[in-house]
Structure 1
Amino acid sequence: MTENVLDVLMYLFETAGDDGVPPEPDREGLRDELERAGFRDREIDRALEWLDGLASRRADEVGEPPTERAMRIYGRDECIRMDTNGRGYMMYLEQIGILSAHQRELVIDRLMALDGEEIDVDDIKWVVLMVLFSQPGEETAYARMEDLVFEDRAWITH
């Protein structure tokens, strides 16, 4: 199996989404479930670290909100890993009100914490869903993002 951290996270997210509650907080139980699903120890450890990073950072801890005229300038490493399409998609999500500037920073932090060289728009969509799912009071933004994620995939199943 050639999975990566995002595959493990997506598996957890999709199984948590079935009953609408986050996965069991018992780390050993979670690890056992992931091993039974066929994931390797290295990816399981990295996914659990990624989740710990998400839990430790909240959107309201990022700092002062940017002014209306502020513009996000991506760093060199961010530009290397996230191409123009990805950065444009992040801006689009912010412009249509799915992400706040604080949430955008949390999403970027979690994207950069993923393994792999390139971050594509699909990776961004899934990480945005996971970040919104983890934040209380973001049900509307989550539902709008879920529509965007699954409307793009609808043609695949037909």
Structure 2
Amino acid sequence: MFEALVYMFENYIDTQYRPDNNTLTRELFAAGFDEEDINGACDWFNQLESMTGKPELFQMADAANSRIFTEIELKKISAESIAFILFLVQANILNTSQRELVLELAMNVPQAMIGIEEMRWIVLMTTWGASKTGPDKTKEYLFIEDVLLNEKKPTLH
């Protein structure tokens, strides 16, 4: 399913147009994705669009806000991915509400493990989605895109 999400994101990121679900389903099927992956990707993408439309996502939360990960989260999300999310919060790329959104969306991906590459894509999609309805997040989005697509990855402290 994750490959279908990336395909959707790459093909519709720069457009204001997103085809209806029937057209999108036919396009994804023609691209070689199976029905289960297509349905899962469409549901996840719809969830992303719905959740990033919430104005409270952009309110800066208390800087002292800490996060304790559940056992289920720790089993599904790699330690490197968690470190990446915490780095983005510390660097003020994501606020704590956005962190929670990213984690919720990661937990909703139906694969057993979320590695760093998947997490980077989830953050990129979330940051992009949030920038459409909230304040200008171009710098944050470009930073995440650079982290995702650049061969040389930054050092996370």
Into which bin does the TM-score normalised by the smaller protein fall? 0.7 to 0.9
Corresponding residue for residue 54 of structure 1: 48
DSSP-derived class of the 1:134 partner:
helix
How big is each residue's C-alpha offset from its partner over 1:88-147, in whole Å with a ceiling of 9 and x where there is no partner? 111011112221111111111110010111111111100011111112222221111111
**Aligned with residue 79 of structure 2, among 66, 79, 84:** 84
Runs of 5+ unmatched residues, structure 2: none
Residues of 2 paired with 1:109 and 1:22: CA distance? 25
Please, which runs of 5 or more residues in structure 1 have no aligned partner?
none
SS in 2 for 1:115: coil
Equivalent in 35, 39, 43 of residue 45 of structure 1: 39
28, 37, 42: which one aligns with 1:34: 28
For 2:16 and 2:93, the matched residues in 1 are separated by 21
Q: How many residues align?
A: 148
Give the share of equivalent positions with the same residue, in percent.
27
Asked whether the 8 Å contact 2:65–2:96 carries over to 1, the reply is no
Q: CA deviation at 1:25?
A: 3.4
CA contact (8 A) 1:23 1:30 kept: no
Q: Distance in 2 between matches of 1:153 and 1:116?
A: 27
Instruction: Specify which of 119, 122, 139 is matched with residue 127 of structure 1.
Output: 122
Instruction: Give the structure-2-normalised TM-score.
Output: 0.85
Give the superposed CA RMSD.
2.1
**Residue in 1 that maps onto 2:3:** 7
The two structures have a TM-score, normalised by structure 1, of: 0.84
Q: Is the 8 A contact 1:111 1:119 kept in 2?
A: yes
Partner of 2:150, secondary structure, is helix
Contact 1:94–1:100 (Cα < 8 Å) also in 2: yes
